[in-house]
Structure 1
Amino acid sequence: MNPETPDQPRTPENHDNASTPKQASTSAAHRADQALRTAADRVRAWLAPLVERVLRWLAPLLRRVQDAPVVRRFRERVAPHVAAVQDKLPEPVVRASRTRSMQAGAAVAAVGVVGLVIGTAVAGPSQPEVEEAAMAASIPEQQAAPAPEQQAALEQHATLQQQPPPPPVEPQAAAPEPEAPLGPPVEGIDVSNHNGPIDWSKVAADGKKFTFVLATDGTSFTNPRYSEQYHGAKDAGLIAGAYHFARPSSSSAEEQANRFLDVADYQSDGKTLPPVLDLEVDPNSGGCYGMSVDQMHQWTKTFNDKVKERTGKEPIIYANPSFWRECMGGTNTFDGHPLWLASYGVDSPSVPNGFSNWHFWQYTDEGSVAGINGSTDLNQFKEGMARLEKLAR
C-alpha cells in the first residue's frame, strides 16, 4: 500500500482508514449512547402505562389507610406527645427534625413505589403487593399540637373510654292487674255421675252461674257422664271446673294428677275454673289413709305441683275443717291456693287454721235445682261475679 500523499482524494474509506485510535473510540461511544437512549425511550414507553396503573391502584389504598379509624386514633394520641417534645426543642432543631422526617417519609415512599414498579415489570403486581407498597409509601401527616381546651377534651374522652359501661337498665315489671270489684255472692252447684242426666238450660235459668263436675276418683274410677255434664254446663253459659277425689293410699300423687288432667281436658278459655283437689277422709276407714301428717303434706304438694306444671294454675283445694285439722295438721303451706270449704248447717263457715280466707262454700248437700232430679250440692262464691270470671281466665 502506498503512503498517503496530499494529492490523493480523501474518500470515506480513506478517511476511516486514516482515523486515529482516539477518534475511533469517540465514534463507538457515540453509537453506544444512541443505542442506550433508544433503549431507555422504549423502556419508558413500556413502563409508563404500568406506573400509571400502579398509581391508580395505590391512590384508594393510601386514602383508605390514612382514613382508617385506628390510624386516626393513633395520630390523635401521639400528636400531643410529639408536640410536647417539640415545644422543648429549639426552633431550628424542630424545623430540621420535621425536614428530616418528611425527607425520610419521601424516601420510604420512593423506595416503595420503585420496588413496586420493578416487581410489576418483572411479574405483574398482585393485590397483597400493592397493599404492602401502599403501607410502606404512606407518609404520616403533620398535625399541629391541639389547643389546651382540645387537649383537655381529648383526655376526658380517653378517661370516659376507660371507664366500664353503666349496668343495663332492668326492665320494670308490668303493673299488676287491678283487682276485680267485690260483688254479692254467686250461686253454683257441684255434680257427679250420681246426679244422672241434667238439663243445664234449666239450671242456668234457676240462677246458677258455675258448677264443679267430678272427673276422676282415686286411681281407676272415671265419671262416665263427665264430658256430657262438663260441656253441657259450658254450653248453657255456666262457668265449669273439674275435680278429683283423692285417695292418697291407692297410688302416687303424680299418677293420680296426670290421670285426672288427662280426663279433665283443662282449657284456659275464660270459662274454666282451676282444677280441684278434693281432700276428704278415707271413705272406707274414716281416717287419713294410714298416712302421717307429713306424708299427707308431701302427697298434696306433689299433686298440686303437677297440676301447676301442666295447667299453669294453682289448684283449688276442697276440704272441711275437721279433715284439715286432723289429717293436714292445720298447715298453712297451701294458703296460696283458693279454698273450697265444706261446712253445713251454719250461717257463715269458720276458716280452718292454715288458710286466711275461703272462696267457695259448699253449704248443703240437699239442695233442689231445676233441671236436676233429686237433691244436689249447693255452693257460693263469696266475692262476686267479676272475680269469679277473673278466676276462670
Structure 2
Amino acid sequence: MSVRPLIALHPQRARLFAAGVPAALLALLLSPFTVPASADDTPVRGSARMGMGVAAHDGSSPASAGPRAGQTEGVDVASYQGDVAWPTLWDGGVRWAYTKATEGTYYTNPYFSAQYGGSLGVGMIRGAYHFATPDTSGGATQADYFVDHGGGWSGDGVTLPGVLDIEWNPYGDDCYGKTPSAMVTWIRDFLDRYRSRTGRDAVVYTATSWWNTCTGSHTGFGKTNPLWVARYASAVGDLPAGWSSYTMWQYTSTGPTVGDHDRFNGSVDQLKSFARN
C-alpha cells in the first residue's frame, strides 16, 4: 500500500522526512493525515469524497472567484482536509459547510466531530453528507447508517439537511454495476428512509452527466429533494433531469483553504430558512 502524505497540512511531519526517517515508519506516523491508495492506484474504500470524479469526467474551467450577488459561499470537507482552518474560511466569507460523515456502511470520518463542530464554532450553518456506494448494501441500510453516525437533522436553525452524495464510483464501474432502473430504486430507498428517520427530505448531490447516464435521466426526485449540482466552471450548465433549479452548486475543487467551494443559491437569511425547513 502506498500513501500520499498531506505534509502541506501538517508541516511538522515534514521534518521527519528531512531527518531521514525510514519510509515505512514515516507512513505509519503520517497515517492519520493521509489518503491511502492501493498498489494499482485504485482508492481504498473510505477515501472517497464529494466531487472526486467531476474534473476527470466533466472537465474543469477556471471558476470566477469571490461571492456572487444573491448567493452565499460554502465549503465541503472530508477526512482528506484534516484539521480545517475554520476562522480563515469565515473571514473569507464562507457561511456554511458540509462534512463527510459516512460512506457505505463501513466507514465513518474520524475527523467528523472536529470538522462538524468546528464550522459551527465560528458561526457557520453546517450539515453532513453520505458518500453512497450502491454496490455494497441497500439504500435504506445506508440511510440508517448515515443517520446513526452524524447525518441526522433537527430544526434548530443551524443544521442543514443531510446529503446523499451519488456520483461516479471511484472504486470501479461508474454506475456501480446497476441498471438505471435499479439505481433509481436504490436512490429512492435511501431518500425514503432518510425522510422517515428525520422528517426532512435529503439533498441530492450529483453531476448532470452521471445522473443522466446512471439513472437514465430519471425525473422523479426534483419536486421533493433539493439539488446540489457539481460543475467546475464559471456557469452551472445543464441540470440533471428532473430539476429546473439548484439549491447548491459545487463550482470548484481549487478554492482557498480547503479546495472544494460551493454556493448556496440564495442569501444568508434564505440559507437560515432552508436549515429550519
TM norm. shorter chain > 0.5:
yes
For residues 300-319 of structure 1, what are the structure 2 equivalents within 5 Å? Answer: 300-319=187-206
Separation (CA, whole Å) in 2 of partners of 1:277 and 1:391: 17
Cα distance per residue 1:135-185 (max 9 Å; x no partner): xxxxxxxxxxxxxxxxxxxxxxxxxxxxxxxxxxxxxxxxxxxxxxxx711
Of structures 1 and 2, the larger Rg is shown by 1
Separation (CA, whole Å) in 1 of partners of 2:237 and 2:218: 18
Return the offset for 1:381: 0.8
SS of the residue corresponding to residue 105 of structure 2 reads coil
Return the offset for 1:355: 1.0
RMSD of aligned C-alpha atoms?
A: 1.3
- Which residue does 2:111 correspond to in 1? 225
Cα distance per residue 1:95-124 (max 9 Å; x no partner): xxxxxxxxxxxxxxxxxxxxxxxxxxxxxx
Task: Go from structure 1 to structure 2 and tell me whether the alpha carbon gap of 1:246 and 1:380 turns closer, same or farther (over 3 Å shift).
Answer: same
1:365 alignment partner, one of 227, 239, 253: 253
Task: Confirm whether residue 384 of structure 1 aligns to residue 267 of structure 2.
Answer: yes
- Which residue does 2:207 correspond to in 1? 320
Cα distance per residue 1:247-279 (max 9 Å; x no partner): 001011111111111111433211011100000
- Which residue does 1:149 correspond to in 2? none
Task: Confirm whether residue 273 of structure 1 aligns to residue 153 of structure 2.
Answer: no
- Which residue does 2:232 correspond to in 1? 344
- Which residue does 2:131 correspond to in 1? 245
Separation (CA, whole Å) in 2 of partners of 1:284 and 1:206: 34
Q: What letter matches 1:361 in structure 2?
A: W
Q: What letter matches 1:200 in structure 2?
A: W
For residues 182-193 of structure 1, what are the structure 2 equivalents within 5 Å? Answer: 184-193=70-79
How many residues are aligned here? 206
Unpaired runs of 5+ residues, structure 1, are: 1-182, 370-374
SS of the residue corresponding to residue 296 of structure 1 reads helix
SS of the residue corresponding to residue 270 of structure 2 reads helix
Return the offset for 1:286: 3.9
Q: Is the 8 A contact 2:102 2:146 kept in 1?
A: yes
Separation (CA, whole Å) in 2 of partners of 1:184 and 1:357: 15
Cα distance per residue 1:209-244 (max 9 Å; x no partner): 000100001120110000110011112110101000
Return the offset for 1:349: 2.7
TM superposition score normalised by structure 2: 0.72
Return the offset for 1:310: 1.1
Separation (CA, whole Å) in 1 of partners of 2:118 and 2:213: 37
Task: Confirm whether residue 214 of structure 1 aligns to residue 114 of structure 2.
Answer: no
Separation (CA, whole Å) in 2 of partners of 1:198 and 1:283: 24
Return the offset for 1:202: 2.2
1:290 alignment partner, one of 177, 183, 195: 177
Cα distance per residue 1:14-71 (max 9 Å; x no partner): xxxxxxxxxxxxxxxxxxxxxxxxxxxxxxxxxxxxxxxxxxxxxxxxxxxxxxxxxx
- Which residue does 2:29 correspond to in 1? none
The answer to which structure has the higher helix fraction is: 1
Q: What letter matches 1:303 in structure 2?
A: F
For residues 1-393 of structure 1, what are the structure 2 equivalents within 5 Å? Answer: 184-264=70-150, 265-336=152-223, 337-369=225-257, 375-393=258-276
Separation (CA, whole Å) in 2 of partners of 1:260 and 1:217: 8
Give identity over the alignment, percent.
37
Higher relative contact order (CA 8 A, sep 6+): 2
Separation (CA, whole Å) in 1 of partners of 2:189 and 2:97: 26
Separation (CA, whole Å) in 1 of partners of 2:236 and 2:170: 26
Separation (CA, whole Å) in 2 of partners of 1:190 and 1:286: 25
Return the offset for 1:313: 0.6
Q: Is the 8 A contact 2:236 2:249 kept in 1?
A: no
- Which residue does 2:53 correspond to in 1? none
Return the offset for 1:350: 2.0
Return the offset for 1:203: 1.7
